[in-house]
Structure 1
Amino acid sequence: MALAVSGCASIRESRGYIVDSTLTGSVQPGIDNKQSVQATLGHPSFESQFGVPTWYYVSSQTERRPFMRPRIGEHSVLAVTFDAAGNVAGVERSGLDKVVFLTPDGDRTPTLGRDRTFFEDLFGNIGAVGAPAAGGGGPGA
Structure 2
Amino acid sequence: MPLRNVSRSFAPLAAAVVLVATLGACTSSTSLVSARTQGYEISDSAQAQIRPGQSQELVTLVLGSPQSTNTFSDQTAWYYVETKVRQTAFGLTMIDSRTVLAVYFDKNKKVVDKAIYTLKDGKTVTIQTRRTPSFGEDRTFIDSILQSF
Scaled by the length of structure 1, the TM-score of the pair is: 0.72
- 3-state DSSP class of the match of 1:11? strand
Alignment RMSD, CA only?
A: 2.5
- 1:58 touches 1:76 (CA, 8 Å); kept in 2? yes
Q: Specify the alignment match of 1:139 in structure 2.
A: none
- Post-superposition shift, 1:104? 4.9
Which has more strand, going by share of residues?
2
Larger helix proportion of the pair? 2
Identity rate, percent: 25
Which structure's CA Rg is the greater one? 2
1:34 and 2:56 equivalent? yes
Structure 1 unmatched runs, 5+ = 128-141
Name structure 2 gaps, 5 residues minimum.
Answer: 1-23
Amino acid at match of 1:24: Q
TM-score, with structure 2 as normaliser: 0.68
Aligned counterpart in structure 2 of residue 14 of structure 1, from 23, 31, 37: 37
In 2: Cα distance, 1:40 partner to 1:63 partner: 28
1:25 pairs with one of 38, 41, 48: 48
Q: Equivalent residue for 1:75?
A: 98
Aligned length: 123
Which residue of structure 1 lines up, in the alignment, with residue 10 of structure 2? none
List aligned pairs for 1:36-55, cutoff 5 A. 36-51=58-73, 52-55=75-78
Aligned partners of 1:29 and 1:90 also within 8 Å? yes
Give SS of 1:48's match: strand
State the distance in 2 between where 1:121 and 1:103 align: 35
- Aligned residue type for 1:112: P
